[in-house]
Amino acid sequence: MDLFSATVHGELRLGASLTIGEYLLPYYLGDFINKYPNVSLMMKIYNSHQIIEKLINQEIDLGFIEATIPHKSIESIPFLEDELVIISSVAHHFPLLEKEAIQPEDLFSLPIIMREKGSGTRQVLEENLLNSNFDPNNLNVILELENTESIKSAVKSGLGVSIISKTAIIKETDLGILRKTNINGVNLKRYFYILNKKQILSPACDAFRELFLSSCR
């Protein structure tokens, strides 16, 4: 531990969307704790709109979200490209999804398990369907869940299909439990963003942001 690391102290409050908080951010927390042991680190999961609100109200110091939500008092930096894919159970038969990609109109005939309104994943899907001249209100949404693991469990059981980050299903696709399928002509690529309020950052906040971004690069 160098002299600068020893002088950085205080509390650092992080707010992360579900995908980033569960499947990405934990890998970086250990490095920071080892380098800055005098910082008390706390991370909580919120949806994207809640993170913006908590940053504005100074309830958290840094936010991590899956879709851009512009706000005049918030600075956002993209740090990683991601892509949404259709996921379905390998054990339960959805003939449409045995192909590598389906046509956009095919999506509307499938029983879909969705994230709640306000989530970055749902925002990206709905915006890109609209950009491709499809109305997301016509999707056959049979269930809404706020937890990615619950969504994956429901899909594994054959209840329906879902559209989530490919980052969240690496283990299941490697094990042959879940299948991923793309949608032809609909761009579901996105960036993950790190956010902070436009103000002078605390030493702990600045140190985490710099360490995190340098690791991502």
As a whole number of Å, the CA-based R_g of the chain is 19
pLDDT tens readout for residues 38-78: 999 999 999 888 999 999 999 999 999 987 788 899 999 99
Q: Is the pLDDT of residue 1 over 70?
A: no
Q: What is the pLDDT of residue 2?
A: 58
Kindly report the CA angle at 138 between 136 and 141, in degrees rounded to 5? Answer: 85
Is there a contact between 62 and 12 (Cβ–Cβ < 8 Å)?
A: yes
Q: In the block, which residue shows the tokens 């140190």?
A: 207
Domains of the chain, earliest start first: 3-80+192-216 (3.40.190.10), 82-190 (3.40.190.10)
Query: 75-102, pLDDT tens digit by residue?
Result: 999 999 999 999 999 998 788 898 889 9
Considering only CA atoms, which of 47, 35, 21 is closest in space to residue 210? 35
Q: Which residues pair with 190 in a beta bridge?
A: 82
Find the largest Cα–Cα distance for the chain: 61
Percent of the chain's residues with pLDDT above 70: 97
**What pLDDT score was predicted for residue 93?**
79
Q: Which of 56, 76, 57 is nearest to 65 (CA)?
A: 76
- Give the pLDDT score at 4: 59
How many Å apart are CA 173 and CA 79, to the nearest integer? 24
Q: How crowded is residue 51: how many other Cβ atoms within 10 Å of its Cβ?
A: 27
pLDDT in tens, 174-217: 999 999 999 998 889 889 999 999 988 999 999 999 999 998 87
**Are 164 and 19 within 8 A, CB to CB?**
yes
Amino acid at 1: M
Q: Which of helix, strand or coil describes residue 172?
A: helix
Q: What is the pLDDT of residues 91-145, one digit of tens each?
A: 987 888 988 899 999 999 999 999 988 788 888 899 999 999 999 999 999 999 9
Per-residue pLDDT tens digits for 143-179: 999 889 999 999 999 999 999 999 899 999 999 999 9
> Is 178:153 a contact under the CB 8 Å cutoff?
no
Residue 45: closest CA among 68, 79, 22: 22
Q: How far apart are CA 204 and CA 196, in angstroms?
A: 13
